[in-house]
Structure 1
Amino acid sequence: MVEKSILPNGIRVLTENIPQAHSVSIGIWVVNGSRHESLEQAGISHFVEHMLFKGSANCSTLDISKKVDALGGPLNGFTGREYSCLHLRTLPEKLSLAINLMAELLLKTCYDPDEVEKERRVILQEIERLNASPDEKVHDLFSQTFWPDNALGRPVLGTVESVQKITRDALVHFTRERYINSSLIISIAGNVGHGQVLEHVITAFAPVSALCPLTEQAEPLPVKAVSLEPLVGTQAHICLGTEALSQSHPNRFAGMLLNAVLGGGMSSRLFQSLREENGLVYATYSYLNSHSDSGAMVSYATTSATQAGEVVALILEQLDHLRHHAVSAEELDAVRQRLQDRLKMSLDSTYSRMERMALSEIFQGEYVSVRSVMRELAKVTPDNLCKLAHYLMSNDSLCLCIIGDVDDQAEKLQNISF
């Protein structure tokens, strides 16, 4: 059973009691991500996430490590474009200790100047590693190209230049303004009761302000664009995408199925065409990059640079086929069953249940159960998919990014269209 309470300071507390679970997953979610940063602040949310592990008013970095190990751990965090999260898995009997530790890390981060500089060096290495990994970098390049001049398209890590300019004072101010306020969501799933959780959270997070500063968000408008970035070597990394639906769009369930048909597994159209039938790629898939007010459906493939144009043409062929020909009932049923099976399997994980509660709250403002998602998936017809594909897959938002030595194919690639 999922329960929700809103504390006087605005914190939303979500719990799901799972009597058969041996563990409990705790997530402290902040409705703040890289898209809420100014250009000058690029990467500061990710920097804050790193600093939460580097000592508090009452705990050194070593103390934190020892406490996490004693709780079972691991303690981890991540920063996205629209939210950030600190999460921990432990035993139900250690719930109070875990909540108190996570509150300590968020509310009493000390930002020791030496630790700030150490972590700055770590983040700069992280950026360097990403830039040296074209199979990862191409996805950031796609977002930047698809949503130009919008914070949604900027890398979560920031840039070398922006991270070098972030000061300790800026980190302290940003944390107080954006993290310690009513945008907090505390999501907990496991063999614990709602009242039990409330008792611990109310005490641990009492200092949190009820204020939540709003930041004006420019509408992210996708554009038709091609970006070809040179790379010494024989491989080319390709992202080809079009517009997709937002996280709250009523037709998003059809979008999930459309993406699964295109590149959601070994039987998907991309895998069968690019790998099984033509032997052009080792890896290919598609994914939805969906946000609160925009989205992209992206096809990825890695191939020999000399074959990049052929691979792009085959991806376009698959997209165009989806625009003009309905998926068979048999194929749709198989894809639907696969998604439904994965949803059922996710129920075995307390982390997945914790995450589902939080993301539902962030994007829908209420809990969307696995059962209700399965019901919505069951309503989608082949005709729904064909109409959605025709609506989304337009030349107006066709975006191609390639990292690789494709200069000899540049003219043809710059003029792609359906």
Structure 2
Amino acid sequence: MSQHTNNDSSCRITRLPNGVRVVTEAMPLVKTASLGVWIEAGSRHEGPGQEGMAHLWEHMAFKGTTHRDALAIAKELDILGGLANAFTSREATCFHIRVMDAHFARAFDIISDIALNPILDPEELGREQAVILQEISMVEETPEDKVHEDFWAAAWENPAIAHPITGSPESVTAATPKTLLDWRRTHYRPDAIVLVAAGAVSHEALLALAEATFGRLPAAPAPAKAPAGPYTPPRLAVRRESEQNHVILAFPSVANTSPDRFAHTILATLLGGNMSSRLFQEVREKRGLAYSIYASLNGLSDTGLFEIQAAVEPDRTEELLAVVRAELAAVAGGAVTAEELDHTREHLKGLLYLGAESTENRMMRLARNILLFDRHIPIEETAAELDKVTLADLAAIARAAFTPGNAGLCILGPTAAIP
């Protein structure tokens, strides 16, 4: 068994012989622990006809295992007073739970059973497929979600990146126990699994539990990972009956692994990350063009987009876009002040340290860093990287990114048209 420990003695990482990684971060004085079973298998790992399988497996995990039916799972979680959930992203699936430290071993038994031993009862599968079809319909009926999915689908050449995490109605209803099991055998491999716990945890205790369960999984070859492929800035108008036009303006950005991610995060935050941001003040507070507007990074391990999203009265859409473009040009021209940069840095560091007091946030952050970098990144290291960002960095990023040729635009609404 190989093991390496980070310089931060609170974090320990062990790799089992079959490739499963076991990671803990001790938090003195807390009485709870958060545990996550992370599988590097998300929607980008689905091929043609498999769209939505990662998400469907997430749903089916709580519908019964070889040891517990759905009611037994719910009752045990209620008895523990535990908070359990799961989610699927483009690059991972996570089953997670938070409990009092005294219940950690039992919580591990439940969450590992859910992740390792789900059953595919045909009746339950049919019911869950119907639930996911409703979920897809909800997105279709929610303009701010729908515009984002339409934009993302049009922006990427690689269909594995472009398709929605939930899949399509056709792909979801076409899934069978056999096709689901075939997909799972390929992607739920030991080397793709990371067990992460933070809070009142013992590394030795989690390691013993992991060896007795996940350690028994046979090693399997990893399938080739398809690159994200080129981003093509779409210009898309979707006519839809609604009170407002919903707008996304986006530009190519950096991957979640890029050394430049800190500067891009600061830029997104000072442009549209809080109520004092440039776009919020200019668009909402000064002009009343939109109730809300925000900028964010939507990153993957090998690529990313810088997205600005807002909803606007249809007859003021062009005015909104003009104001946003003027603000982006100002930032590219060096308009950001030292005071703005300092305030944004402190805002982000505040969020970082406040989040670190939650065992769940700590577990989530640790897991993402293991998946992306295969190491623990102390909060102090992240804060130091934010401190290194300069005004010149922000202007250079804005000049390179915010060009007309890079701009993708999607407008969904009653008068949707590309100006």
TM range (shorter): over 0.9
8 Å contact from structure 1 (residues 25, 188) kept in 2? yes
CA distance in 1, matches of 2:207, 2:200: 14
Counterpart among 80, 101, 104 of residue 95 in structure 1: 104
8 Å contact from structure 1 (residues 120, 164) kept in 2? yes
What secondary structure is seen at the aligned counterpart in 1 of 2:191?
coil
Match of 2:304 in 1: 295
CA distance in 2, matches of 1:49, 1:215: 23
Instruction: Tell me the TM-score normalised to structure 1 length.
Output: 0.95
Counterpart among 376, 382, 391 of residue 400 in structure 2: 391
CA distance in 2, matches of 1:204, 1:74: 22
CA distance in 2, matches of 1:41, 1:348: 39
8 Å contact from structure 1 (residues 247, 291) kept in 2? yes
Match of 1:120 in 2: 129
Match of 1:368 in 2: 377
Counterpart among 5, 14, 33 of residue 5 in structure 1: 14
8 Å contact from structure 1 (residues 238, 301) kept in 2? yes
Following TM superposition, where does structure 1 have runs of at least 4 consecutive aligned residues deviating by more than 4 angstroms?
Answer: none
Counterpart among 259, 274, 287 of residue 268 in structure 2: 259
Counterpart among 312, 328, 332 of residue 321 in structure 2: 312
Mean Cα deviation higher: 345-354 or 220-229:
220-229
Q: Please tell me whether residue 172 in structure 1 is matched to residue 149 in structure 2.
A: no
Counterpart among 145, 151, 162 of residue 136 in structure 1: 145
CA distance in 2, matches of 1:281, 1:12: 46
Q: Note the C-alpha offset of 1:223.
A: 1.3
Query: What does 1:170-209 correspond to in 2, within 5 Å?
Result: 170-209=179-218
CA distance in 2, matches of 1:242, 1:195: 46
CA distance in 2, matches of 1:212, 1:14: 22
Seq. identity, %: 33
CA distance in 1, matches of 2:267, 2:221: 37
Q: Note the C-alpha offset of 1:195.
A: 1.0
CA distance in 1, matches of 2:138, 2:106: 36
Q: Please tell me whether residue 333 in structure 1 is matched to residue 339 in structure 2.
A: no
8 Å contact from structure 1 (residues 224, 395) kept in 2? no
Structure 2 spans left out of the alignment, 5+ residues: 1-9
CA distance in 1, matches of 2:352, 2:158: 36
Instruction: Tell me the TM-score normalised to structure 2 length.
Output: 0.95
Aligned residue type for 2:222: P
Q: Note the C-alpha offset of 1:180.
A: 4.2
Classify 1:212/1:78 alpha carbon distance in 2 versus 1 (closer, same or farther; 3 Å).
Answer: farther
Aligned residue type for 1:350: T
Aligned residue type for 2:359: T
| Paired positions, count | 410
Match of 1:43 in 2: 52
CA distance in 1, matches of 2:189, 2:120: 15
What secondary structure is seen at the aligned counterpart in 1 of 2:190?
coil
8 Å contact from structure 1 (residues 326, 383) kept in 2? no
Match of 2:387 in 1: 378
Aligned residue type for 1:150: P
What secondary structure is seen at the aligned counterpart in 1 of 2:63?
coil
Cα-to-partner distance string for 1:214-259 (whole Å, 9 max, x where unaligned): 2331342111221111111321111111011111111111111011
CA distance in 1, matches of 2:20, 2:379: 24
What secondary structure is seen at the aligned counterpart in 2 of 1:5?
strand
Aligned residue type for 1:257: I
C-alpha RMSD of the superposition: 1.3
8 Å contact from structure 1 (residues 223, 398) kept in 2? no
Structure 1 spans left out of the alignment, 5+ residues: none
Cα-to-partner distance string for 1:325-344 (whole Å, 9 max, x where unaligned): 24111110011110011111
Match of 2:410 in 1: 401
8 Å contact from structure 1 (residues 182, 209) kept in 2? no
CA distance in 1, matches of 2:167, 2:120: 19
